[in-house]
Homo-oligomer: A and B are copies of this chain.
Amino acid sequence: MTATSEAKGAAAALPPVHVIGTGLIGTSIGLALSSVGVDVTLEDQSETSAALARDLGAGRTTGEVRPGLVVVAGPPDVSPRLVLGALERWPEAVVTDVTSVKQVVLLDLVRSGVPIDRYLGSHPMAGRERSGAISARADLFTGRAWVLCPHDGSDPSATALVARLAQATGAAVTTLSPQEHDEAVAAVSHVPQVAASLVAARLEHLSDHAIGLAGPGVRDVTRIAASDPGLWTQILSGNAPAVAAVLRDVAADLGRVVDALEALGAGEDDVADAPGARAVLARSIADGNAGHARIPGKHGAPPATYAVVSVVVDDRPGEVARLLTDIGAAGVNMEDLRLDHGLGLPFGLAEVSVLPAAAGPLTEALTARGWRIHS
């Protein structure tokens, strides 16, 4: 792993780091920090798990443990207890937790009455469908947002230290209050997860013929429905009020759509007998357009509209490579690529997203090299 100079600079300013909890996130933090020279010690309630993380290169499990920074990477429901323990064990150290819900942890700590100026929560926006140390990667946080959640009582120097931790892993630092964080992840992460799961659940009992009609749309909508039920039960439970608030709005919108559809379906002879029903449907899709347009484009920039150049690609080794070589030879920077294989056919479509100004030259260049293009 070759880290950026920014990550190396941040790492050089880090004290020894102690990681409690060597699952996917904790082990990945250990791997990332160790790769840039930070002294990392590891701890887990399971000694086997800690030893595995050590063997993977995430840090050491023996010798002196004198951290300047402690990272609690346990599940949401045990994190407050682990944070309190860390504050007590290392009275000089800054402590952060990296669970994906922040208010519930802070609330528990405030209730404990222990001074928490050396604590602030944080949340690296990274994860995988897989879990455990064995799935950890040194670059899990590379290019991802890492949210810092300072609170009224947290010391600014603690915030600065956790920011350096995030930077040393290659992440991009963002700061939000715990409440802002929880409301944001409810909308951009937890609610999409619930929606994907509920839509996917409706596919379970379809006939083979019916499920055979599944195309790219439903594949995209349900991809994250493959996620782990145990982990997501904890995440949703830990952010219950914020997720419930957004889901109540979704449920109200859904209720209006169902009412509109029932009104339209009831009028068999003249569906125009359902005044306003079509407007409800159109408004629902239009509101979705507006929300979709808010999602930032690549590189954290404002939403960019890319042009898509579609290329027919034979389904055999090397064809996509040959295509991408030709794209590179045209001097065009590809922003995104989707491959879409057909049903039982020996070829597929490659949809190449490029900046609009590059679409014309790219189409010309590829056509000249014999590709079948449809842009």
Contacts and interface: CB of A to CB of B under 8 A. Distances in A.
Interface of A: 1-2, 4, 107, 125, 137-139, 142-145, 147, 170, 172, 174, 176, 180, 183-185, 187-189, 191-204, 206-207, 209-215, 217-230, 232-233, 236-237, 240-241, 243-244, 246-251, 253-255, 257-258, 261-262, 264-265, 268, 271, 277-278, 281-296, 298-300, 310, 312, 315-329, 331-337, 339-349, 372, 374
A155 B260 CA distance: 36
A90 to B, nearest CB: 29
B261 A244 contact: yes
A3 B327 CA distance: 24
B233 A281 contact: yes
Contact of A320 (B213, B312, B337): B337
B278 A174 contact: no
A295 B282 CA distance: 28
8 contacts: A1-B372, A184-B211, A187-B210, A188-B206, A192-B217, A221-B223, A247-B257, A334-B339
A288 B200 contact: yes
- A interface secondary structure, majority: helix
A326 B321 CA distance: 8
B343 A172 contact: yes
